[in-house]
Amino acid sequence: MAHTAQFTAAEAAFVLREPVRTVKKALDAGPVRPVLLRRAGASVRAIGWSDLFYLYAVRALRDELTPKARTEFYQALQQTPIDRRDEVRFGRFRISISDLVEEVERRTTDLTVLAEKVAFRADGEPLLKGREIEVYRIAALLDGGASIEQVLEDYPLLSRKEIETAQAYADAYPKAGRPYPRTSVKRALQGAGLEALDEA
């Protein structure tokens, strides 16, 4: 399998199951070499598959690699494409990587599957596939402190899985520009003691 995709910090965070700020710190610290990509009209840092694999592998092997060994491991990964070998050798180390490669491939496939659960409106706004509900609207409610149960009350046609998809998509592909409100109109009315207007 050829590994040619590029991953933003947010996409890498989804794959690594790490906070975005942790991934950004790792990009700043090196030895990975991010490049600048144009996405949605903005420049963002991105890394290739081998750098993503390195970030995953050093977390999996964190107790076994010294800082010097991590740098040597990274340099060894750059010498031969990962998909052409089962182990990496450097210094006195021989590290079997086939299970680590399989896990990163599975997680990057999860990222692809997540993107397939979203459709796009003519203006480019992502919607939950089969629904006319904006992904970022649902994610904003969750970010604002609403529970999944509360979102289900406001959007009874959605399933729990669709709400989780909206949150995961918004995490992996953060919204550019003005954010959605972090509370629904219904909850805003209730908070203001105007429930009767909602029922009228």
pLDDT in tens, 50-102: 999 999 999 999 888 888 999 999 999 988 777 767 889 988 888 899 999 99
Mean of per-residue pLDDT scores for the chain: 87
- Say which residue, 7 or 4, is predicted with more confidence: 7
For the chain, the domains span 6-115, 126-199
Burial of 116 (0-12, 13-18, 19+ CB in 10 A): exposed
pLDDT of residue 193: 53
Q: What is the pLDDT of residues 156-190, one digit of tens each?
A: 999 999 999 999 999 999 988 777 777 765 665 55
Residue 142 has pLDDT above 90, yes or no: yes
The CATH class, in words, for 6-115 is mainly alpha
pLDDT of residue 50: 92
| Torsion sign over Cα 169, 103, 55, 50 | negative
pLDDT of residue 3: 75
